Structure 1
Amino acid sequence: MPAIAVPAFALTCWLACYLIGRDPRRRVLWRTATTLVAYAVGVAAWTVAPGGTVAEILICLPALVWAGVAIGMLPDEMPERVQIDRGWIVLSAVFLAVVIALPAAGRLVSLAPLLGGLVLLWRFRDKVRPRSMPLAVTVAALLYALGLVVLLLPLSLGPPALVLAAMAVDVMILGYLVAAADALDAGERLLPDLRRSAVSALTGALVVGGLSTLTMLAVRDNRLVLILQFVLVAGVMGYSGLVGPTRRFLDRIAFPHDDRLRQDRAALLLLAEAMPRRRERHTLIALDQEEFRRLTERALEDYGDLGRLLRSPLIDLPTVDRRLTGQNAEKPLARALELRAVLQESVARIKPDGLFGIGEDWRHYNALYYCCVLGLRPYERHPETDGLDRDARRALDWFRRYVPRSSLREWQREGAEMVAARLWNELMRTDPRWLTRAGSLAAPPTRST
């Protein structure tokens, strides 16, 4: 059992940490990571006490969270999205209590929320990107459900260790699919960055995981030793998946009084993390208007995060090229800073004439400028107000008192569409590459004779 359980535990822990490190703000990445961690803990519990009640309950948890992953793939702009999320949380808590209360065969009710999540995913499959995602997620979920049935019912279709290994493949496929969807949504590359992290994880798994496996085989009857070996493997895999955040945390401890050194190292780390995820420059010309709009909206959301702007395809815009000269034109950090300036100027262009206002014509500008450019967080319990001018304080108070979260998100989306339309029209008017592409797209298809 340890020879199969340790690699499965190690790889799922690594992939969970990798997903969180990709973008800690994305709920679907957190839910997928929780699915992987729940499976890893279940495998560890099954190794310590095979077929025990705790192990059976833990191995059912991934199915409950998997339903949330399926829901998380639905577009954020769906009107029903908030209600669906809340319903999943409530139902998961109810079904978890039922799973704890029922015997082994009854714990298969944990598959009911997963079935509901998959039904919703197929119901709105035309809004899910990429289009093949519902089918791929459904196949992986069905295979995991089959493994769960084999474990919990008195069926003899193979040793439990092999069934758990097959289930590990299923949850890792889910993790890869979600990572691929996130990379597509962000306009990034996935495989180079995934290979970089996987090489580190495999090295740690071979060294630490191999020694832990030998220790478990040598000491079979000591549960404390088994648990400590899993904790050791989890720590190594966590570092492999979260190299960047871990290094920044260690820098704060090692250089507490050297701000300049920490800032320089942080800039280098941002660049090192961004380079494997950046797309090639020539792919920018292949964007259509809808994709351009979506990437612009994402860049505005990431305005305050230079690391995310470094990975945005928009740093290769011709507008950025024209604003940079000499060696700066080839420096990613300089391009990211220039993209930030382009976005700020584009937001300023939609500002109405006159002094600060809260009327209908001010809503899009206020939502973008104060919440994206200035980075105000009006719905925090104690929002930061130091250094804000009078208009920013008035805007913050207005958002908190009179603007619901859903309205603010809608204004930000509409404002981002306005900014994207301006940038797109400027490209179409001024850049020869886009003019040529527009003409080729508009030309009618011809038949070969």
Structure 2
Amino acid sequence: MVWVSAVAFGVAWWLGLYLLVRDARKPVLRRAGAGLLAYAVAVIVDRVGPGDAWFDGVRVVLVCLPAIAWTGVFVRLRAESSTGGAGETGGAGGDERTTRADQWWRWGLVPVCAVVALLAAAGVKPAGYVLGAVVILALVGAMLALGQQRGWGSGARRSATGLLIVGGLMFGLSATLILVGLNVVPRTAMLSAVAVDLVLLGVGIAALDAFDEGEALRAEMMRSLLVSVGTAAVFGGQAAIAIVLAGERTALVALLFGAIAAAIAMQVLNGPLQASVDRLAFASAPELREARTELRTAVEALPRKETDTGLATLGEDEFARLTRRALSHYSDLGKLVSSPLIDLPAIDVRLAGRESAGPLDRATELKALLGESISGLKPRTGEEFGTSEEWRHYNSVYFYYVAGIRPYSVRTKRTDLDPVSRKALSWFADQVPERTLHNWQNAAARIIAAQLRSGLGSVSR
């Protein structure tokens, strides 16, 4: 039925966009979101596409696209699990073997599948069978490798990983049944059942990302879902009424899916869309544009903050992980709003004399506190920059987070760096491997976390 397909499409479309909006710079979220969106497109094409045999190759390709994307998700997760978390955008993650596995997916599996997919879409039947077999084998292999990976950390991460593996197995089974053409259940029902598997996978990825960021997930995700359902019902409902009155005509069914897609996209992508409009409307007022961006980011981040952080009960490793994450958001007050560290007693002391202190005030004080801790790592030699061992902790966090240099990113070109930062950038790029910088940053975060944690005492918020 068209209504079942519409619900399956809407859920996949919403969750795919939701994962991308969380942070499209993260490979795991980007690949997971792409897989969900590809499935949503497959649902539409299966419903409104022609029923001719020549179009079967296109359907096979669309069913395989989510499996290819999720194979990349599992490969990337295995690479990142060896560092105990999702890591930062562009940061080093995993050992050499798992890094090679990620490169194998990007430069091996994806290009090969793209070539075979073109042949399958062109009507070459054997290519469709080859594509399905390669994709399913790669997906199962990536899941097995993920399941054998050790070092997932806390029970929350292990639970989310288990959810991912279960969802992946269910998705692999459903995709296999579709590809081999076993008519165990009607095709529409099978495609809709795949939505359940992908939702498990998407929620698992979102839970892992929220854990790594030290954020809450349920309230913010539920709000996004409820608003999406409401807007989709308002706009898609009009097309649904037309279908009831006039019958399931192809044009009306396409209109139904288009209305649902547009309504959900307008809600989920509200922040990026507003930012784009601001760039045009306030092109001559950069300060106003930056202020609006900061406030908007803070509003979006606030529902992600844990209401009961219990900082005093956290172990050293967990506290260090949260500190590292706060350092990575040092220049983004909006994202610092969601950090559990804004509940530190030291921040209460700093704000004691103020009549009212909102989340942005607390984030500002957290940034100042982190800045002081970073400055405390600087060797007292009277120099602005050094390359000896005593400088490694300070260099790794100050120049990366405060100065904002990215020595390993080919996309980042800074022309406004001062002479000291330019010297540091050259040193990192020429003398410091990315993995070494990552280890130095972890060590520096532990030192800063120990300083922050020493002020907790027996206080528990």
Partner of residue 445, structure 1 = none
User: After alignment, is 260-269 or 299-308 more displaced?
Assistant: 260-269
Partner of residue 440, structure 1 = none
- Confirm whether residue 369 of structure 1 aligns to residue 387 of structure 2: no
Q: Offset at 1:151?
A: 2.0
Q: Offset at 1:235?
A: 2.8
Q: Offset at 1:423?
A: 2.4
RMSD, aligned CA = 2.6
SS where residue 131 of structure 1 aligns? Answer: helix
- Confirm whether residue 295 of structure 1 aligns to residue 299 of structure 2: no
Taking the aligned partners of 1:281 and 1:156, their CA distance within structure 2 comes to 50
Partner of residue 444, structure 2 = 415
Taking the aligned partners of 1:190 and 1:382, their CA distance within structure 2 comes to 31
Q: Offset at 1:258?
A: 4.0
Q: Aligned runs of 1:47-446 on 2, under 5 Å? A: 47-49=47-49, 50=51, 52-74=56-78, 75=81, 77=83, 78-79=94-95, 80-89=97-106, 90-98=108-116, 100=120, 102=126, 105-109=129-133, 110-127=135-152, 130-213=157-240, 218=246, 230-281=257-308, 283-327=310-354, 330-354=357-381, 355=383, 356-381=385-410, 383-424=412-453, 426-427=454-455, 431-433=457-459
Q: State, as a whole percentage, how many aligned pairs show the same letter.
A: 36
Taking the aligned partners of 2:309 and 2:113, their CA distance within structure 1 comes to 49
Taking the aligned partners of 2:131 and 2:410, their CA distance within structure 1 comes to 40
Query: Is the CA contact 1:32–1:69 (under 8 Å) kept in the aligned structure 2?
Result: yes
Q: For residues 373-408 of structure 1, what are the alpha-carbon distances to aligned partners after superposition, in whole Å with 9 as ceiling and x for unaligned?
A: 111122344755444332112112222333332222
Taking the aligned partners of 2:269 and 2:455, their CA distance within structure 1 comes to 38
Q: For residues 222-256 of structure 1, what are the alpha-carbon distances to aligned partners after superposition, in whole Å with 9 as ceiling and x for unaligned?
A: 57x76565444333222222222222222333333
Taking the aligned partners of 1:248 and 1:215, their CA distance within structure 2 comes to 35
- Confirm whether residue 46 of structure 1 aligns to residue 70 of structure 2: no
Q: For residues 329-359 of structure 1, what are the alpha-carbon distances to aligned partners after superposition, in whole Å with 9 as ceiling and x for unaligned?
A: 6311011011111111111111112212112
Instruction: Name the amino acid aligned to 1:134.
Output: T
Query: Is the CA contact 2:12–2:37 (under 8 Å) kept in the aligned structure 1?
Result: yes
SS where residue 330 of structure 1 aligns? Answer: coil
Taking the aligned partners of 1:335 and 1:351, their CA distance within structure 2 comes to 25
Taking the aligned partners of 1:433 and 1:374, their CA distance within structure 2 comes to 33
Instruction: Name the amino acid aligned to 1:34.
Output: A
User: After alignment, is 100-109 or 357-366 more displaced?
Assistant: 100-109
Instruction: Name the amino acid aligned to 1:85.
Output: D
> What is the number of equivalent residue pairs in this alignment?
431
Unaligned runs of 5+ residues in structure 2 are: 84-93
Taking the aligned partners of 1:256 and 1:367, their CA distance within structure 2 comes to 35
- TM-score (norm. length: structure 1): 0.87
Q: Offset at 1:12?
A: 1.1
Q: Offset at 1:6?
A: 2.3
| Change over 3 Å in CA distance of 1:369–1:4 after alignment to 2 | same
Taking the aligned partners of 2:70 and 2:342, their CA distance within structure 1 comes to 35
Instruction: Name the amino acid aligned to 1:13.
Output: W
Query: Is the CA contact 1:70–1:121 (under 8 Å) kept in the aligned structure 2?
Result: yes
Q: Offset at 1:365?
A: 1.1
User: After alignment, is 204-213 or 60-69 more displaced?
Assistant: 204-213
Taking the aligned partners of 1:120 and 1:381, their CA distance within structure 2 comes to 31
Taking the aligned partners of 1:382 and 1:276, their CA distance within structure 2 comes to 32
Q: For residues 387-434 of structure 1, what are the alpha-carbon distances to aligned partners after superposition, in whole Å with 9 as ceiling and x for unaligned?
A: 43321121122223333322222222222222223323x236xx3427
| Change over 3 Å in CA distance of 1:137–1:125 after alignment to 2 | farther
Query: Is the CA contact 2:216–2:304 (under 8 Å) kept in the aligned structure 1?
Result: yes
Query: Is the CA contact 1:56–1:152 (under 8 Å) kept in the aligned structure 2?
Result: yes
SS where residue 345 of structure 1 aligns? Answer: helix
Unaligned runs of 5+ residues in structure 1 are: 438-449
Taking the aligned partners of 1:328 and 1:36, their CA distance within structure 2 comes to 47
Instruction: Name the amino acid aligned to 2:5.
Output: A
Taking the aligned partners of 1:121 and 1:353, their CA distance within structure 2 comes to 45
Q: For residues 135-188 of structure 1, what are the alpha-carbon distances to aligned partners after superposition, in whole Å with 9 as ceiling and x for unaligned?
A: 322221222222223322342222111111111111111111111111122121
Instruction: Name the amino acid aligned to 2:62.
Output: L
| Change over 3 Å in CA distance of 1:76–1:336 after alignment to 2 | farther
